[in-house]
A and B are shown apart, each in its own frame.
Chain A
C-alpha cells in the first residue's frame, strides 16, 4: 500500500469517526436519572427472595429445608417442629440478606413454589440486624405480588422506599420515627416514585 493510499485511508477514517461522534452528540442520552426515574424491571429479575402465601394468607412453605440445603452461601435458616399428626410446622424462616448472592437457586429448587425472586433491590440499611429477614417480613413482601410467577420471579407493588410501618403511620404524620419492627424495605431518600 502506497503512502498516498495510507494518507487517504487515515483521513477518511478520521472524518468518518468524527461524523459518528457528531451524530451521537444529538442522540437522546440513555441515562436513567436513577432516584427520580426508576427502571421498569421485567418479571424474573433476581431481586431479593420472598415467601409466597396461598389465597388465605398461609405460607406455602412446608419446611422441607431443600432451599436451606441448596443455598450456596447458606444464608437460609429454618427451624420447624412436628405437630400431633407428625406433620412438619414451620417455626422460623430467616434469610440473611447481607450475604445472599441473589442466585435464585432457593426459588428454583422449591418443590411447592413457596419462594420467588422479587423485584425488590434497594436493601441498604443502617443496621446489619435489619438485613436478617424473618418469616413475617418475607411473607409480607410475598403478599405484595402482582401478576404471575415467571422464571421463578414476581413483580411487587407498593412504594419500595416505604416500610409498612411508615406507610401505616405516614397518614398520621409520624413517619420520621423509626419503627420498632425493622422496616421491610429500607427507607432511602424519601422520594416518591
Chain B
C-alpha cells in the first residue's frame, strides 16, 4: 500500500510532464535534464535540512553527555542555533592567504562537497524513491568516499601552511588505510546479498534478516572504519585542534569553511544512510512508512557516531595505523572468509 502511495505520485507527475513536453514539441533530453535537476535539488535540500538538524543534535547530545544544556536560547530548545551560526559564517570575509595556491585553494571545498552529495545518488529512501538504482551501487559508494582524499590534499597543500599540510597528509594516510577494511566489511554484505545494488541488498534483508545479525563483526568493522573515514573524534587527527590548529581547514574562513563543515556532516549522514541500508535493512520495517524507517535507522547510526565521539579520546597516529592494518584488516579478511564459507554452504 505504501509502495503505491510513495511511488505513484512522482510517476504520475512524470507522465504528466512527459505528456506536456510532447504536446509542446520540446525535446525529451530537456525533460531528462529537468528530472535530474529536480532530483538533485530534492537531495541537496534533504541534506541541508538534515545537516542543520545534525549540527544541533551533535551540540545538544554533547552538552547533555557532559551534563550541560547545549544550545538553549535560539528558538525552541535552541533549534535555530545552526541557522544563526550559518548566517554568521556566511557574512564573514572569505580570506585567501597570500601564500596560498589561489585556484586550488578556492576549488578544494567544492571538490570535497561534490562526492558527499554524489553518494546520495544511490541511497534508497523508500521503495522506488531513489535517484538512480545503479547495479554497482556499493562499488559506486566506495569510489565516491575515496574522492574525498584529493579534496583534503588540495586544501592542505594549497593553504601554504605547515599545519594544513600535516593535517592533509594525515587525512590522506587515514582515509586510504580505513578504506580497505570499510570495503571488506561491505564486501561481506555484498556476498550475503549476492548483489552490489543497494536495493537488492535491502530485498535480500527482507527475505532473510537484517545483516547486522548475520554480520556483527562486519558491522563493528564498518562502524569503526566509517567513523575514521569521516574524520570524527576518536580518529580526528587530520584536524586535531590541540596539535594542528584545525588541520586542512586552518586557513579557511567564511563561506568556504561553511562548505567544509557542511561536507563533514553530509558525509556523516551519507555514511549513516549507507550503514542503515547495508546492515539494518534500509527502509524495510513494519507499521511505519518506509521513509520513517529509513530516517530512524540512519539516525541510529548518527547517534552511535556522536556517542562514540563524546566518549573516546583521540588516538595517536601510530595507534591509528595499527588499528587499521594490524587489527581491522585481519578481522575483516577473516569475516570475508567466514562469510564465503557460510554462503558456499
Residue numbers of A with Cβ under 8 A of B are 7, 14, 17-18, 20-22, 24-31, 33
Question: Is B67 within 8 A of A17, CB to CB?
Answer: no
Find out whether the CB atom of A29 lies under 8 angstroms from the CB atom of B69: yes
Q: Given the complex of chains A and B, what is the CA–CA distance between A28 and B67 in angstroms?
A: 7
- Verify A24–B65 contact, CB threshold 8 A: yes
When distances are taken between beta carbons in the complex, the residues of chain B under 8 Å from A30 are 67-68
Q: Are A25 and B61 in contact (CB under 8 A)?
A: yes
Contacts of B68 in A (CB 8 A): 29-31
Stretch from B173-181, B260-268, B304-312 at the A interface: B304-312
Q: Which residues in B have their C-beta under 8 angstroms from that of A26?
A: 64
Size of B's binding interface in residues, CB under 8 A: 15
> Knowing that A29-B69, A31-B67 are A-B contacts, what are 18 other residue pairs whose CB atoms are under 8 Å apart, sorted by A's residue number?
A14-B311, A14-B312, A17-B311, A18-B307, A18-B308, A20-B311, A21-B65, A21-B307, A24-B67, A25-B61, A25-B64, A26-B64, A27-B67, A28-B67, A29-B64, A30-B67, A30-B68, A31-B68
Closest to A24 in B: B65
Question: B84 to chain A: which residues have CB within 8 Å?
Answer: none
Which of A27, A29, A33 is the most central at the interface, judged by chain B CB atoms within 10 Å of its CB? A29
The proximity string for B residues 64-80 relative to A, scoring 1 for CB distances below 8 Å and 0 otherwise, is 11111100100000000
Contacts of A31 in B (CB 8 A): 67-69
A97 to chain B, nearest CB (A): 30
B162 CB to nearest A CB, Å: 33
Chain B residue numbers with a CB within 8 Å of A20 are 311
Question: Is B63 an interface residue when CB atoms closer than 8 A count as contact?
Answer: yes
User: Which residues of chain A have C-beta atoms less than 8 A from B61's C-beta?
Assistant: 25
Contact of A21 among B63, B311, B327 (CB under 8 A): B311
Find B63's partner among A7, A17, A22, A29 (CB 8 Å cutoff).
A29
A171 to chain B, nearest CB (A): 31
Q: Would you give the 0/1 interface string for B291-334, flagging 1 where the beta carbon is closer than 8 Å to chain A?
A: 00000000000000001101110000000000000010000000
Q: Are B307 and A22 in contact (CB under 8 A)?
A: yes
Min CB distance A176 to B, Å, is: 25
B312 with A25: CB separation less than 8 A: no
* Nearest-Cβ distance from residue A16 to partner chain B, whole angstroms: 10
Give chain A nearest CB distance to B298 CB in angstroms: 20
Closest to A17 in B: B311
Measured between C-beta atoms, what is the minimum distance from A158 to chain B in Å? 28
- Minimum Cβ distance to chain B for residue A109 (Å): 41
Q: Are B308 and A24 in contact (CB under 8 A)?
A: no
Q: How far is the CB of A25 from chain B (nearest CB, A)?
A: 5
* Most chain A beta-carbon contacts within 10 A, residue among B64, B307, B311: B311
Q: Which residue on A lies nearest to B310, using beta carbons?
A: A21
Complex CA distance for A3 and B343, rounded to whole angstroms: 30
How many angstroms from the CA of A126 to the CA of B63 in the assembled complex?
34
Residues of chain A lying within 8 A (CB to CB) of residue B69: 29, 31, 33
CB distance from B271 to the nearest CB of A (A): 19
Asked if residues B72 and A25 are in contact (CB atoms below 8 Å), the reply is no
Chain B residue nearest to A13 (CB atoms) is B312
Interface positions, chain B 39-72, Cβ under 8 Å from A, are 61, 63-69, 72
| Chain B residues closer than 8 Å to A7, beta-carbon distance | 327
Nearest CB in chain B to that of A18: its residue: B311
Assembly CA distance A144 to B199 (angstroms): 74
- List 6 interface pairs A-B (beta carbons < 8 Å), by A numbering: A14-B311, A17-B311, A17-B312, A29-B63, A29-B67, A31-B68
Q: State how many angstroms separate the Cβ of A18 from the closest Cβ of chain B.
A: 5
Q: For the complex, what is the distance from the CA of A147 to the CA of B308, rounded to whole Å?
A: 50
Question: What is the CB-to-nearest-CB distance from A14 to chain B, in angstroms, rounded to a whole number?
Answer: 7
**Nearest chain B CB to A78 CB, angstrom units:** 45
**Chain B 200-243 near chain A by CB (<8 Å), digits 1 or 0:** 00000000000000000000000000000000000000000000
In the bound complex, residues from chain A placing their C-beta under 8 Å from that of B66 are 24
- Residue of B65, B308, B327 near A25 (CB, 8 A) is B65
Q: With the chains together, A30 CA to B70 CA distance in Å?
A: 12
Chain A residues within 8 Å of B327, by CB? 7
Q: A30's closest neighbor in chain B, by CB?
A: B67
Inter-chain CA distance A93–B310, complex, in Å, is 53
Chain A contacts for B65, CB-based, 8 A:
21, 24-25
